Amino acid sequence: MKLPLVILTGAGISAESGVPTFRGAGGLWKNHRSEDLATPQAFARDPGLVWSFYAWRRELLQNCLPNKAHTLLAQLEEQFELTLITQNVDGLHQQAGSLHLIELHGNIWRLRCTNCERRWEDRRVPLRPSPPICEVCGAIARPDVVWFGERLPADTLNEAAQRAGEARTFAVIGTSAQVYPAAGLALLARQAGANLVEINPEPTPISKYADVCFRGNATEMVARWLNEALPA
């Protein structure tokens, strides 16, 4: 029987693919913090500005490829009953071949109509017109991502929480663990008896609960964790 393994990733796992983290250097766009633009209020006030921000991020991501850490996690599905939970909207886990993926905060390559709620994939860069329009009802579309102040879809969060509660090992990779409910999944898993592993160059608020911490970049430390510490 395959062991249940759950992994939560954040922006740090994509850093070595060239994607800037949210709270690190490079997290600003034209002097705006992403926390100020990725909100329903900012979109209601100025959808053009928010779409310019996402157009910039999509352009940047267009040239980014999955790195060794993404690939190693995708390969783990052969060996474990793996659930990969990501806060990232960049689509790099999918691109690396991960199948059992829960995208907690949505996906930047998917759009959602603000009126009829239709969702569709659109990978065009640049996206025209901007803001994009729903072809069915003519309303403005938004990125299908979760913004600050918005609730995560209940079914997505419930599934992530259920998997976290069943995990034998729960690994947290490349997240500052400041955003809830995502960070709370690690604590939930720990309380339910999981072995908690953290991979991050910096300590985070959940480091003190971790059974083992690998301090360093994801590409190197994921490989080390898999070689040294992960029970088969």
Radius of gyration of the chain from its Cα atoms, rounded to whole angstroms: 18
Residue with tokens 């908690």: 196
Q: What is the DSSP string of 151-172?
A: PPPHHHHHHHHHHHHH-SEEEE
Among 4, 10, 66, 131, binds ligand OAD (CB under 6 A): 10
Check residue 201 for interaction with ligand OAD (CB under 6 A): yes
Nearest residue to ligand OAD, scored by beta-carbon proximity: 12
Among 74, 196, 197, 218, binds ligand OAD (CB under 6 A): 218
- Total interface residues for ligand OAD by CB under 6 A: 26
Phi, psi of 79, rounded to the nearest 5 degrees: -100, -30
Amino acid at 196: L
**7, burial (CB in 10 Å: exposed 0-12, middle 13-18, buried 19+):** buried
The least CB distance from residue 205 to ligand OAD, in Å, is 10
The least CB distance from residue 19 to ligand OAD, in Å, is 10
d(CA 120, CA 100): 20
User: Interaction with ligand OAD in 141-160: which residues (CB under 6 A)?
Assistant: 146, 148
Name the residue among 78, 145, 51 with its Cα closest to residue 106: 145
Among 93, 143, 217, 225, binds ligand OAD (CB under 6 A): 217
Phi, psi of 177, rounded to the nearest 5 degrees: 55, 40
Among 7, 15, 82, 157, binds ligand OAD (CB under 6 A): 15
The DSSP secondary-structure symbol of 74 reads: H
Contact indicator for 134, 113 with CB cutoff of 8 Å:
yes
What are the structure tokens assigned to 69, written together?
Answer: 């850490």
User: Interaction with ligand OAD in 96-115: which residues (CB under 6 A)?
Assistant: 105
Check residue 23 for interaction with ligand OAD (CB under 6 A): yes
Check residue 87 for interaction with ligand OAD (CB under 6 A): yes
- For ligand OAD, the closer of residues 21 and 114 by Cβ is 21
User: Which sequence positions are flagged as catalytic?
Assistant: 105
Positions touching ligand OAD (CB under 6 A) are: 10-12, 15-16, 21-24, 34, 38, 87, 105, 146, 148, 174-176, 178-179, 200-202, 204, 217-218
